[in-house]
Amino acid sequence: MHIKGEGIKEESHTKDTVWHVAERGTGKAEFSREIELPENVKIEQIKAQVENGVLTIVAPKDSTPKPSKVRNVNITSKL
């Protein structure tokens, strides 16, 4: 999934602010992110919403188990 947007850059923090993640831009309030989704996401049901400057994306997963892509390979050795 590719997310791209722009907006007003707001910086309001105090000396006591603790950051877990902080990003710095080039002065513009533009952003672009790519997020790899699991194979079992129901793409047609993805919803996104912005509220109070927070982007929330809900991507429901299909509960039907998919066949495993794990394969067993026999290894032979000639020593």
Q: Looking at the domain assignment, is residue 66 inside a domain?
A: no
Report CA Rg, the chain. 21
The answer to whether residue 63 scores a pLDDT higher than 60 is yes
Is 48 within the bounds of a domain? yes
Asked if residue 39 is part of any domain, the answer here is yes
In a domain, 67, yes or no: no
Per-residue pLDDT, 70:
76
For residue 76, being part of any structural domain is answered with no
Confidence check: pLDDT of 71 > 90: no
Q: Please say whether the beta carbons of 6 and 29 come within 8 A.
A: yes
CA nearest neighbour of 8 among 42, 70, 53: 53
Token reading at 57: 């994306």
Please report which confidence band the pLDDT of residue 28 belongs to, taking 50, 70 and 90 as the band edges. Answer: low
Domains held by the chain: number: 1
Residue 29 lies in a domain: yes
Domain span including residue 7: 2-58
> Is 23 a member of any domain?
yes
